[in-house]
Amino acid sequence: MINTLVRLADSNDHQKLSNLIFYETRLHRHLDWRSPLDWLESPFCWALDDQGRIDAALACPPEAPGAHWIRFFVHSGNWSDHNAWSLLWHEAREAVARSGGTTVAAIVMQPWFEQLLAQSGFETRQAIVMLEWKYQPWARKEAQGIRIRKMVEADLPSIEKIDLSAFGVLWHNPLDTLRAAFSKAVFASVAENDRGIIGYQITTGEKQRAHLARLAVTPVAQGRGVGRALVDDLLTRLLNHGIGKLSVNTQSDNGASLALYENIGFARTGERYPVYVFDVNSAEVSW
């Protein structure tokens, strides 16, 4: 470890990091619209450099002010989980603290990474649950005064405001993330009334299945059938294109969302991924 250096990653590390991500099994990757390599020049992406060889890397840039997500953590077999994580997390925690302190979060899909987070003081407060709809007759419900139309790129600034009001800081998708999601959508629509856009959905997919990646309704319009109208319209469009399967995920403590999907006929798949968070205090930084 004498010649080991933890430093900010940069574009010169692209190929080495690409190889590390491709070949190593110890990889945590966020459920994201972006590739891990897109974070290379972020001020919150670090590499573990051993005489020019990249043995590990970690990125936890902010999604929005007040919320950082661990986008990826990867290390080679030259290091143990604990040692690689400890060096990089120490640097990340200090940098987040210097930026003013915030919440750092991760959606965990591997037991080895969950163990690392728990040992580092992260806490689990909720989980992501997966549901799936397979073709079956369902009763559409009409929502008075609500129109559903195709989303256009000019809608995204309004959609960003709805997203923040519906989900809060930790789960908020800022404008650049929404643009990335919109660019990959197979179906994207908005719900509006006489005052403008009040909800939206973005769905990705391929071949015979699709994934409802995002659904949000502004708080003042929640409970009025807006979300149901968006999903009803989506299912109709999917079936018209020969797609009979739709998956979705939502937070385990979002009762309204779970009720919406289950009332339409979505069933839980049994997949459940804990969300771990760590609150960084700006006062804890060592200058």
Convert the pLDDT of each residue in 117-151 to its tens digit. 999 999 998 999 999 999 988 888 888 899 999 99
For the chain, the domain total comes to: 2
Q: Examine the domain organization and report whether 148 and 237 are in the same domain.
A: yes
pLDDT band of residue 88 (cuts 50, 70, 90) is: very high
Phi-psi region of 121 (alpha: psi -120 to 50; beta: other; left: phi over 0): left
Q: What pLDDT was estimated at residue 160?
A: 96
Q: Which of 267, 189, 281 is CA-nearest to residue 235?
A: 189
Q: Identify whether 270 is part of a domain.
A: no
d(CA 207, CA 147): 28
Position 207 pLDDT exceeds 80 = no
> How many C-beta atoms surround the C-beta of residue 47 within 10 A?
24
Judge if 118 and 148 occupy the same domain. Answer: no
Angstrom distance (rounded) from CA 165 to CA 145: 21
Nearby residues of 252 by Cβ (< 8 Å), 6 or more positions away: 126, 127, 128, 129, 272
CATH of residue 66: 3.40.630.30
Instruction: With respect to residue 176, please indicate whether it lies within any of the assigned structural domains.
Output: yes
> Are residues 259 and 141 part of one domain?
yes
Does residue 119 share a domain with residue 174?
no
Percent of the chain with pLDDT over 70: 97
Q: Is residue 42 part of a domain?
A: yes
36: in domain = yes
- Report the pLDDT value the prediction gives residue 93, as an integer from 0 to 100: 95
Residue 71 lies in a domain: yes
For residue 27, being part of any structural domain is answered with yes
Mark whether 117 and 166 lie in a shared domain: no
Instruction: Tell me, letter by letter, the H, E, C secondary structure of the chain.
Output: CCCEEEEECCHHHHHHHHHHHHHCCCEEECCCCCCHHHHCCCCCEEEEEECCEEEEEEECCEEECCEEECCEEEECCCCCHHHHHHHHHHHHHHHHHHCCCCEEEEECCCHHHHHHHHHCCCEEEEEEEEEEEECCCCCCCCCCCCEEEECCHHHHHHHHHHHHHHHHHHHCCCHHHHHHHHHCCCEEEEEEECCEEEEEEEEEEECCEEEEEEEEECHHHCCCCHHHHHHHHHHHHHHHCCCCEEEEEEECCCHHHHHHHHHHCCEEEEEEEEEEEEECCHHHCCC
Q: Write b or e for each residue in 153-192: b if 16 or more Cβ atoms lie within 10 A of its Cβ, otherwise e.
A: eebbebbbebbbebbeebbbbeeebbeebbeebebbbbbb
Q: Are 172 and 224 members of one domain?
A: yes
Average pLDDT in the 99-116 region?
95
Q: Is residue 132 part of a domain?
A: no
Residues 107 and 167 in one domain: no
The answer to whether residue 116 scores a pLDDT higher than 80 is yes
The answer to whether position 208 is within a domain reads yes
Q: Which domain holds residue 19?
A: 4-126+275-284
Residues 171 and 252 reside in one and the same domain: yes
Instruction: Output the furthest CA–CA distance in the chain (Å, rounded).
Output: 69
Instruction: Report the share of the chain in percent with pLDDT over 90.
Output: 83
Residue 261 has a pLDDT of 96
Query: Same structural domain for residues 15 and 71?
Result: yes
Question: Which of 228-232, 259-263, 278-282 is least confident?
Answer: 278-282
**Segment 170-176 mean pLDDT:** 92
* Same domain, yes or no: 18 and 116: yes
Q: Round to whole Å and give the CA distance between 39 and 177.
A: 13
* 85 & 174 share domain: no
In this structure, the answer to whether residues 119 and 153 fall within a common structural domain is no
